Structure 1
Amino acid sequence: MLRRIFLLLIAAGLAGLALYGWLTAVPAPLTLAAYTPNPANGETIFNAGGCSSCHAAPNQPDRTRLGGGLAIPSPFGTFYAPNISPDPDDGIGRWSEADFVNAVKRGISPAGTHLFPAFPYTSYAHATVQDVRDLFSYLKTLPKVSGKVRDHDLPFPFNIRRNIGVWKLLFFDGHLFIPDQSRPPSWNRGAYLVNSFGHCVECHSPRNFLGGIITSQRFAGGPDPEGEGWVPNITPKGIGEWSQQDIADYLENGVTPDGDSTGGSMVPVIKNTSRLSAADRSAIAEYLKTLPPVEGPKPPQKKKPEAG
């Protein structure tokens, strides 16, 4: 009897390991057809995606020196933005175009491991392969920056990359953006930028305890994913009094309709969106004005100073 129970436990354990292996497996990499990339469009994508906000080496003024190293705190530990300069040893200089597309759109490293979703491939997945290839061609024109970035500082079990396979099954929608034919081209351009490279939803939405975005409250604001402050609601429930031009102007100069200046993590975002064309900023604003109003989580009330 004991022997039978022991064998059943072994069988159950092996079945569990097999199921875990299947659920967390890394899919086969994409293969790419011939394509002539457009670095000029790649620069637009670079600005829309805010690549320099995370990947520019800290404490230096050149936003094109993508040596990485920025610490990105989270409830699961601290991530460090990698070097994505064309340096062949410390950056992505040895990556193929297919390596880059698989990383950006599918969260798969050239070594065949899952990338942590602190890198917002969950949004980039909705972008076209052509735009990702254009971005790669632009990155190759930027300065090579030497220097290895330290490993992420994550406790067990969050440091197990294989577990991200299960997370992807729960929260990763890899579908390409599909234009709404009932909307004008400008609206679709804004929807594409916001939901793909702009990855606005990644910061402007509350998350559950596993780090997945709460779908019913997309764009409704919430706690800053980096642990300090509050990210505002950008549906009409939060910025409904802003006009389309107000939003476009804010994306250019960081000044709100009431004359206040942006601060915190939006400062580098504005540095990027200010480099987009006026048409793209207007398209983003046009799309945001059509979002359904969503009531987001309430920010904590500020404590009143005690009377002295």
Structure 2
Amino acid sequence: MGKRILLATSVAIFFFLLFWFNSNSVAPSAYTLPTSEKSRENGKYLVSAGGCVSCHGKASDTSDEVDINSLAGGLQLVTNFGDFYVPNITPDKETGIGLWTASNFIGALKHGIQPSGAKYYPTFPYRAYAGLSDQDVLDIGAYLMSLTPEKNIVPQHELPLWLTRFSANIWNQFADITQRPRELSPYNKNEAYVRGAYLARNLGHCGECHTPRNLLGIPKLSEEFSGATLGEEVIEPIDADALTEWSENDFDLFLLLGMKPNAEFVGGDMSDVIEHNTSRLTDSDRAALASFFITYQRDKLNSEKISRL
């Protein structure tokens, strides 16, 4: 009997701590949204570079296309875990983010926490956005709050009974446990590498599609960018092995035009990413991404091969 009580108590404490650690909100007075035009312009660029319109563009009633001039949401995301509907991120006070504070933006993007304190589902790539700088997040918030409010009531998610906000907390804890921190790169003092890694792993969240996942849907960082499947769609690898024949210029041109070294143009969802996201990057940001994916990833692969000799 004593062992049963001890076990029950331990389980109760575990779930209490699990809930508490994942439900903490960000201090409401800790941040302030910037008001300068420079911050809003940076936020506009970051929203574009981050590909926000690909998901948050206003859904059409008649097709799978989204209105790229609106961030009113409504797009249906069909996944193995259920159907999710992307929220309205215009500053409408009833159906959008019009009541959000600066701390709400930090909580959402960097911690996956809703203004209510509940956890977001991981279809929102907050684990990638966690690496964003506070200033970039606040600039994004400043830009979004400057948009014209649009009223758009987004449907409720269609999920199995077991998939709740609380189970999302549990998922997040498993992700923390299973995703080991990346090894410190010898290039961490190289400006191009740091910027390219920031764009690829955080703002651009390339791994959300291009990194395979385990049965729980947690990305396998040990196989970063090695390709994945989303439903019936096969996502091509963009790791060093896959890009062996590519030069930095090839990759830069791919980001700009969607053209591969063999003169073939990319199709599917990636064509939208090129059109609405990577083609709008600055020359220096495209170059940083090209350096990260081609030079630095290749050097890492070569050093790993040498270490196995």
Q: Give the alignment's TM-score, normalised by structure 2.
A: 0.85
Tell me, yes or no, if the aligned pair for 1:187 and 1:287 is still in contact at 8 Å.
yes
**2:26 corresponds to which letter in structure 1?**
P
Q: CA deviation at 1:16?
A: 2.4
Q: CA deviation at 1:188?
A: 1.4
Tell me, yes or no, if the aligned pair for 1:105 and 1:174 is still in contact at 8 Å.
no
| Higher Cα radius of gyration | 1
Report the equivalent of 1:190: 196
Tell me, yes or no, if the aligned pair for 1:24 and 1:164 is still in contact at 8 Å.
no
**1:184 corresponds to which letter in structure 2?**
N
Q: What do residues 38-69 of structure 1 show as CA deviations (whole Å, max 9, x unaligned)? A: 01111121112110000011237642311111
Report the equivalent of 2:34: 36
Bigger mean CA deviation after superposition, 79-88 or 62-71? 62-71
Tell me, yes or no, if the aligned pair for 1:120 and 1:199 is still in contact at 8 Å.
yes
Q: CA deviation at 1:232?
A: 0.9
Tell me, yes or no, if the aligned pair for 2:258 and 2:271 is still in contact at 8 Å.
yes
Q: CA deviation at 1:8?
A: 7.0
Equivalent positions of 1:57-68 (< 5 A) are: 57-59=58-60, 62-68=67-73
**2:199 corresponds to which letter in structure 1?**
L
Q: Distance in 1 between matches of 2:31 and 2:58?
A: 33
Tell me, yes or no, if the aligned pair for 2:125 and 2:208 is still in contact at 8 Å.
yes
SS in structure 2 at match of 1:196: helix
CA separation of 1:33 and 1:151: change in aligned 2, threshold 3 A: closer
- 2:167 is aligned with 1:166: no
Report the equivalent of 1:300: none
Q: Distance in 2 between matches of 1:48 and 1:175?
A: 25
2:291 to 286, 289, 295: 286
Q: Distance in 2 between matches of 1:222 and 1:175?
A: 21
Q: How many residue pairs are counted as aligned between the two chains?
A: 286
CA separation of 1:293 and 1:79: change in aligned 2, threshold 3 A: farther
**2:292 corresponds to which letter in structure 1?**
Y
Tell me, yes or no, if the aligned pair for 2:91 and 2:97 is still in contact at 8 Å.
yes
2:156 to 151, 155, 162: 151
CA separation of 1:62 and 1:269: change in aligned 2, threshold 3 A: same
Q: What do residues 262-306 of structure 1 show as CA deviations (whole Å, max 9, x unaligned)? A: 111112211211111111111111101122449xxxxxxxxxxxx
Tell me, yes or no, if the aligned pair for 2:26 and 2:106 is still in contact at 8 Å.
no
Q: Hey, which of these two has a bigger chunk of helix by percent?
A: 2
**1:277 corresponds to which letter in structure 2?**
T
Identity of aligned residues (%): 34
- 2:259 is aligned with 1:262: no
Q: CA deviation at 1:175?
A: 8.6
Equivalent positions of 1:135-146 (< 5 A) are: 135-146=140-151
CA separation of 1:208 and 1:138: change in aligned 2, threshold 3 A: same
**1:101 corresponds to which letter in structure 2?**
I
Tell me, yes or no, if the aligned pair for 1:125 and 1:174 is still in contact at 8 Å.
no
Report the equivalent of 1:100: 105
Report the equivalent of 1:21: 16
Q: CA deviation at 1:143?
A: 2.6
Q: Give the alignment's TM-score, normalised by structure 1.
A: 0.85
SS in structure 1 at match of 2:46: helix
Equivalent positions of 1:221-300 (< 5 A) are: 221-224=227-230, 227-270=231-274, 271-289=276-294, 290-291=296-297, 292-293=300-301
Q: Distance in 2 between matches of 1:61 and 1:154?
A: 23
Q: Distance in 2 between matches of 1:257 and 1:76?
A: 36
Q: CA deviation at 1:247?
A: 0.9
Tell me, yes or no, if the aligned pair for 1:24 and 1:163 is still in contact at 8 Å.
no
Tell me, yes or no, if the aligned pair for 1:64 and 1:143 is still in contact at 8 Å.
no
**2:279 corresponds to which letter in structure 1?**
S
Unaligned runs of 5+ in 2: 303-309
Report the equivalent of 1:213: 219
- 2:88 is aligned with 1:83: yes
Report the equivalent of 1:73: 78
